[in-house]
Amino acid sequence: MTALLEVRQLEVVYNRVATAIQGVSLEVPEGSIVALVGTNGAGKTTTMRAISGFLPSEDAEITDGEITLRGERINGRMPHQLAKAGVILVPERDKVFSTLSVQENLAFAGREGGAITIERIHGYFPLLRERGTQLAGYLSGGEKQMLAIGMALLCRPTLLLIDEMSMGLAPIVIKDLMEKLQQISRELNLTVLLVEQNAKAALSIADHGYVMESGRVVFTGKAAELMTHPDVREFYLGGAGQAENKSYRDIKQYRRKRRWWG
């Protein structure tokens, strides 16, 4: 069985000189959850952007390698083309429309017909129903993440990319979200690529894992195996990453909220 998404020997160069990632290969089989973990600056985000077409066009360039979706080469496609093909990204920041209400956010993407309805999203995340009329900008970090996943699901993804889902969230919230995601993936046979600094949380629900370091994949294997791998345990699951997560970015969650009517 060929994987839904295959990345082979990917190389991305910034500003023509700085090689951000090199020789990155990974596979995301249909219906599975794959975690791509590593510390800040390991090249995870670059990999994710290359897949979703969000590399800033002037600064970064795929110089080598290939990305295929169901065997079809997709590197260099524009984000909206990829979105049509079913590659849906939940970005790390600005993942919801903060000037729209929760309902409006969901309606924004919701299409007629299909298995995934707003009702179903409400079923997974009942809180979104309660907060329906609230502006998304006023949601907590965890609620925003729920909403973002809900929106993404309504776009009928074949491949869901989630960038730093656990960023800035409390451990209990992370645990809840991860479990929910696992449930959704199983029920909908949804393929998910998780890109996470929080390796422990991501690997806990993933089928397969890749560990990145300095722009290369350094470990790969079944998630359960990686969890018990001594080096991985020492460097990535020791909790050091957790403390680092409390960086300035968390503060951004509390920026002044914009509203449409001013």
Partner 1 sequence: MEFVATVVILTCTYALLAAGIVILYKAGRVVNFAHGEIAIVGGYVFYSSGMMFSGGEMSPWLAVLGAIVFSVIMGAFIYATMMRRVVGEPFYVAILVTVGIAIVLKSAIIVIWRAQHLTIDVGIAPAIRLAGGATLSYMDVASVALTIAFFIALYLFFTFTRLGVQFRGTAENPLLASQRGVNVNLVLSLAWIIAVLAATLSGVLYGGRAFLSTESVTIGLAGLTAALVGGLDSLRGAVIGAFVVALAQYLTVRLIDPVLSEALPFLILLVVMSIRPWGLFGTVEELDRV
Q: List residues binding partner 1 (CB under 8 A).
A: 52, 54, 79-80, 83-84, 88-89, 91, 94-100, 104-105, 107-109, 111, 151, 155, 255-256, 258, 260-262
**Helix, strand, or coil here: 90?**
strand
- By beta-carbon proximity to partner 1, the closer residue of 149 and 212 is 149
We find the least distance from the C-beta atom of residue 58 to partner 1, in angstroms, to be 9
CB of 153 to partner 1, least distance (A): 11
* Cβ atoms within 10 Å, residue 99: 16
Task: Tell me how far apart the alpha carbons of residues 33 and 194 are, in angstroms, rounded to a whole number.
Answer: 7
CB nearer to partner 1: give 32 or 52: 52
Q: Which residue has the tokens 């093909």?
A: 85
Compute the distance between CA of residue 9 and CA of residue 257 in angstroms, rounded to an integer.
42
The span from the CA of 166 to the CA of 158, in Å, is: 22
Distance CA 244, CA 246 (A): 5
C-beta separation of 190 from 115 below 8 A? no
* Shorter beta-carbon distance to partner 1: residue 96 or 121: 96
Nearest approach, Cβ of residue 55 and partner 1 (Å): 12
Number of neighbouring beta carbons within 10 Å of residue 122: 16
Task: Compute the least distance from the CB of residue 149 to partner 1, in Å.
Answer: 13
Q: Which is nearer to partner 1, 14 or 97 (CB)?
A: 97
In the bound complex, what is the minimum distance in angstroms from residue 98's beta carbon to partner 1?
A: 7
User: In this complex, which beta carbon is closest to partner 1, that of residue 113 or of residue 262?
Assistant: 262
Shortest distance (Å) from residue 5 CB to partner 1: 17
Q: Residue 245 burial (CB < 10 Å; 0-12/13-18/19+)? A: middle
* Residue number, 118 or 199, with CB nearest to partner 1: 118
Give the containing element (helix H, strand E) for 176: helix 171-188
